[in-house]
Amino acid sequence: MNKALRPVIALLFLLSTAGVAQAQANLVHGIVAGLMLGQHAARGDFADKTVTPITYRGQKYPMKRTTTEPGGSTVAADPAAQLESQLELCHAALFADSTGTVCPADRRAVIQAMQGIVAQNRPGLNLKPYRTELAFYLAEDARRQRVAGTAAPK
C-alpha cells in the first residue's frame, strides 16, 4: 500500500469510530433517561393528579401546581402559591431560550426558602415534586453551562 495513503486511511478509520462512539453514548443516555423515568413513576412522582409530567429534551420531570381555589384564582398569601409562581418563572425561562439561565441564583435561593416555609405551614403537602422540578432546572442550567463552555453557576 502506498505510504501516502496510510495516514488518510487511519484518519478516516478514526473519524468513522467517533460517530459510532457518539451513537453508543446517545443510546446509553436514552437508557438512563428511561430508567430515571421508571424510578420517578415507581416513587409516585406522577401519581398525584396535580402533578403534570413535562418533557424537555427527552427527559421528564414533574410539575406540581395545586394552589387554585374552586373559582380558579390562586391564593396570593399561600406560600405554596408563591413557590409555584417562582417555579413557573423557571419553567417559562426553560422554554423561552435554549441557551439562557433557567434558574438564576437569586431565584433558586427564594425557591429553597419558600420550600422551607411551605414545609412548616403545610406539613401534609408533598414537596417532592417541587424539589424534583427545581433539581431538573438546576441540572439543565449546568448542562447549558457545559455546552457554552463556561463554569456552572454556584
Q: Where are the domains of the chain?
A: 1-43, 45-148
Classify residue 15 by burial, with Cβ atoms within 10 Å: 0-12, 13-18, 19+: exposed
* pLDDT higher than 80, residue 86: yes
pTM: 0.62
pLDDT at position 6, please?
73
Residue found by looking up cell 394552589 in the block: 67
Rounded to an integer, the average pLDDT of 104-113 is: 94
pLDDT at position 26, please?
67
pLDDT at position 25, please?
62
pLDDT at position 48, please?
64
CA distance to 108, 114, 117, 147, per residue, from 105 (Å): 5, 14, 19, 19
The answer to whether 102 and 141 have CB atoms below 8 angstroms apart is yes
Rounded to an integer, the average pLDDT of 50-75 is: 75
pLDDT at position 31, please?
73
Find the helix packing angle between 128-148 and 105-121, rounded to 10°: 170
Q: What is the pLDDT of residues 14-35, one digit of tens each?
A: 666 666 666 666 666 667 666 6
